[in-house]
Structure 1
C-alpha cells in the first residue's frame, strides 16, 4: 500500500501500479480510465493532474496526466519512479508528422528522442545523447500494432521545447535528419527512465502534419485516438 506523498502526487492510500500510461491531458487520463479500466480509483487530484488506478483484463494499471513539456513530465515521472516504484512508463499522446509518407491517425512508436531542450545537460555527459525507449516495450508494441494491422512508424522523434518557434526553418532541418514527428515530452521521460534503470516508451497518434498542414479537431484529439491507447494497454 502506498503511504507516501510528494508535493505533486498525493495518492491518499490508493496504490499506483508498476505500469502507468501518461497522457499529457488530465482529461484524457480520465477518459482512458473510465473507458477502458475496471475498478477505477482516483489517486491524484493535486493541481488538477488527475491520476487513476484500475485493472485492464484483470491486470493492475494506472493512468495519469502530466501536463505539457519536458519540465512537467520529467517532474511527474521522477516522482513516480523514485517515490512510488513505477517500472513501466508509457507516454501516449499526439504528435506532428514530419515525413511525407505519414498520414493523420498513423501511430508513431518512438525508438529514440532528440531534443532542443537543455534538460539532458544535468547528466553532465561528455557528449551529446539521444535517450532511447525500452526495446522490450517497443518490440511488444510494434508486434501488437502489426497484429491489429495498424499503420505504424518506428523511429526517432523530436521532443521540442517550442510550440511556437521563431525559426521558420528549424523543423525542416530536423526532417532532413529523418525525424518522424515532433512532440514535447519523450526525451525527458526516456532520460529519467534510463537514469533510474526502468522502462519507458512513447506511443503517439499523428494529429497534424507539418508538410501537408492537415490537422485533426480538438474533439478528435480528446477521444478519437483509441488505437494508440489500446496498444499501450496491451503492454500491461
Structure 2
C-alpha cells in the first residue's frame, strides 16, 4: 500500500484550483490557455473560475446548457492531471478541443478530425494500465461531435489518432541541428499506411483515464498541417471549439432523452428530433 502523505486532493484541487461548484459535468479541454478565449466567445455567458500554471478554467452556459472549459497545457502528463482533478470534483464528460497534423492526403487544412480512438505513443497512460489496453473515445461523445459538425456544415473526418509525447522527434520531425530519432524517418509513412488519421499529444491519455474511471471522453481537432501534402496553416481554429460547444448541448439533450425513456445508453432507436 502507498505510504500516507499530505493530501493534495481536498475540495479545491491542488493544480487546477477548482472545487465542485466551479465546473459543470461536461468540460472542454483545449491545450493552449489562450484558446479558452476563442471557446467562450461561442457561449451565452461565462466567468473565469481559476487560473493556475497552464490550467485556466471558465464556466458558463451555451443554449441554456451548463458548460465548462479547462486548458491543459501541452502533452499528456498535464492533461492527465486535469482529468484526475476534474473527475474528483464531479466532471463526467471530457471533450478535447485542439489542433493536429493530418496523415491522410484527403484531409485539408481547416478540416476537423473527430477521434474514435488513439494510438498510445505517450508514456503517461502507461503509468496507469498495461500497454495493450485500448484508448477509445466514448461513442456517445463521438456521435454528438459528428452531429454537431454536420449541423454546422464543417468538413470532418473520423478515425484513429496517434498521441505522441514529443512535437519533434516523436512525430517524425528533425530535432536541433537536424537530429533524427531512431525510426523517425519512416514513422509518418507507417502511420499513414495503418490508416491513422492524425497526430496530436493528449487524446490517448484522456481516453484511457476516462475509460478507467467509467467516464466519457472524446476529441475534435482542427487540421493545421497535412504531413502527406506538406500544407500548413493555422486556420479554422474556431471550428473545433464551435463543434465541441454544440456537441455539449446535444449531449445534454441525449442524456435527457435517455432519462425520459429509461435507457442506460444512447442508441440508434432514439432520436433528438421532435
Using the size of structure 1 for normalisation, the TM-score is 0.90
- Identify the match of residue 105 of structure 1 among 98, 106, 110: 110
Is 1:136 paired with 2:143? Answer: no
| CA distance in 2 between partners of 1:162 and 1:171 (Å) | 14
RMSD in angstroms over aligned alpha carbons? 1.7
Equivalent residue number for residue 215 of structure 2: 198
Bigger radius of gyration: 2
Moved more, 44-53 or 90-99: 44-53
Is 1:158 paired with 2:156? Answer: no
| CA distance in 2 between partners of 1:70 and 1:129 (Å) | 16
The aligned length equals 226
Which ranges in structure 1 are unaligned for 5 or more consecutive residues? none
Contact 1:22–1:29 (Cα < 8 Å) also in 2: no
Is 1:55 paired with 2:61? Answer: yes
Equivalent residue number for residue 210 of structure 1: 227
SS across alignment from 2:135: coil
SS across alignment from 1:41: strand
Residues 1:90 and 1:74: Cα distance change in structure 2 (over 3 Å): same
Is 1:182 paired with 2:189? Answer: no
Instruction: Give the deviation of 1:129 after TM superposition.
Output: 2.5
Instruction: Give the deviation of 1:162 after TM superposition.
Output: 1.7
Instruction: Give the deviation of 1:135 after TM superposition.
Output: 0.2
Instruction: Give the deviation of 1:14 after TM superposition.
Output: 4.7
Which ranges in structure 2 are unaligned for 5 or more consecutive residues? 1-9, 170-180, 249-274
SS across alignment from 1:45: strand
Contact 1:14–1:42 (Cα < 8 Å) also in 2: no
Residues 1:47 and 1:198: Cα distance change in structure 2 (over 3 Å): same
Contact 1:19–1:61 (Cα < 8 Å) also in 2: yes
